[in-house]
Amino acid sequence: MSVWWLLPLVVGFSFFLTAALRRYALARSMMDVPNERSSHSIPTPRGGGVAIVITFLFSLVSLCWTGWIDMAFFIGAFGTGAMVAVIGFMDDHGHIAARWRLLGHFVAGGWALFWLGGLPELEVASVVLHLGWIGGAFALFYLVWMLNLYNFMDGIDGIASVEAVCACLGVCILYGISGHQALIWAPLLMVAAVAGFLIWNFPPAKIFMGDAGSGFLGIMLGMFSLQAANVDSRLFWGWLILLGVFIVDATFTLLRRLARGDKVYEAHRSHAYQYASRLYGRHLPVTMTVLLINVFWLLPIAFSVIRFNVDGVLATIVAYVPLLVMALRYRAGELEVKAVNPKR
């Protein structure tokens, strides 16, 4: 049974729910007020990502009902997404200590892995690896890192939404050409859920995603990639390539801050995309550049892995090298010396 009819309903529901959440945030003074670590200059409502969470989770029910996803993935995704969103929502309303927040993230990641069946075998440089419990531990840290890096990268208008739309649409193409059409529906409905919110979040943003939405997106994309790895190892590398902009910027920035001895759990604005937005004085050029990189650089490389059977590790390295150069060019992880008043 086709569920194409569900897509416009999901976009519309997400759009109107975001509008309602914006009114709620304004009424409750849930505002993201600019400070010295902000990348915006105007107080803006936050928490709009809850619309993505609610819309997508309810659309998952339809997918499960029509048989397009299996019950195990549904239970894992619904439970994991709900846990992460609740933690993020509570943090949006009042600060939660980093250690308790991180503990919750690991519990959510563990729940996801239980229903996914852990990390499947992966093909690395033509060698099939069976990693066992080590792979399970790696997969758990991978999911928690995906959750947190997405939260770190949600710092300027539209960037997290655009990244999710590009990655999910790109992987739908990969699923189609590899003959795994059954996997298309979950990421396609995620595109629809994010699109309704993006109308409000596109620069200049009228509402921000908040931790509930960004963390939810990060761990859901991580789950999608592990689900795909269970079907075809090449699809996992495809996911890593498509998410390259976020993975490279967030990971390189974290490593640089760790090496300097910074408290990495504290808020900052030293990611490459944040430096770039201050350099150009606007968020739109940076967000649109991320879109163009995804479409014209990362998608063709991911396509080559599936269509022409290019080695996934080699393709990922090729995809990441220019991104790393850009991260260095835009000072990712460098200590900010001079305060700047950016525009939002």
Evaluate whether residue 336 is within a structural domain: no
- Computed over every residue of the chain, the mean pLDDT equals 91
Evaluate whether residue 129 is within a structural domain: yes
Mean predicted confidence (pLDDT) in 125-151 = 87
Evaluate whether residue 334 is within a structural domain: no
pLDDT-derived band at 341, boundaries 50, 70, 90: very low
Omega prior to 204 cis, within 30 of 0: yes
Tens digit of each residue's pLDDT (9 = 90 or more) over 145-171:
999 999 999 999 999 999 999 999 999
The pLDDT of residue 120:
80
Kindly provide the b/e burial profile for residues 272-300, where b requires at least 16 CB atoms within 10 angstroms of the residue's own CB. bbbbbbbeeebbeebbebbbebbeebbbe
Do 168 and 188 contact (CB within 8 A), yes or no? yes
The pLDDT of residue 123:
74
Structurally, how many domains does the chain consist of?
A: 1
Evaluate whether residue 337 is within a structural domain: no
The pLDDT of residue 296:
98
Do 214 and 151 contact (CB within 8 A), yes or no? yes
pLDDT above 50 (res 343)? no
The pLDDT of residue 65:
87
Secondary structure (3-state) at 44: strand
Evaluate whether residue 341 is within a structural domain: no
Evaluate whether residue 338 is within a structural domain: no
Evaluate whether residue 30 is within a structural domain: yes
Global pTM reads: 0.93
Tens digit of each residue's pLDDT (9 = 90 or more) over 35-73:
655 566 678 898 999 999 999 999 999 888 888 889 999
Evaluate whether residue 119 is within a structural domain: yes
- Write the CA distances from 120 to 117, 205, 216, 303, integer angstroms: 8, 39, 23, 22
The pLDDT of residue 339:
45
| CA of residue 239 relative to chain centroid, distance | 11
Tens digit of each residue's pLDDT (9 = 90 or more) over 255-290:
999 998 888 877 788 999 999 999 999 999 999 999
Mean predicted confidence (pLDDT) in 212-232 = 96
The pLDDT of residue 135:
86
Which structural domain range is residue 121 located in? 6-329
